[in-house]
Amino acid sequence: MDLVVDANILFAALIKNSKTSDLLFREELHLFTPEFIFTEFSKYRKFLLSKTHRSKDDFQKLFELFERQISVFPLSEILPSINKALKISPDPKDVPYFALAIMLNAAIWSNDKLLKNQSDVKIFSTEDLIEHFAL
Give the number of other CB atoms < 10 A from CB of residue 48.
Answer: 18
* 104: exposed, middle or buried (Cβ count in 10 Å: 0-12, 13-18, 19+): middle
Mean pLDDT of the chain: 91
pTM for the full model?
A: 0.90
Residue 110 has pLDDT above 80, yes or no: yes
Give all domains of the chain, ordered by start, each with its CATH number: 2-132 (3.40.50.1010)
Angle at 95 between CA 29 and CA 113, to 5 degrees: 65
Contact 11, 49 (CB under 8 A): no
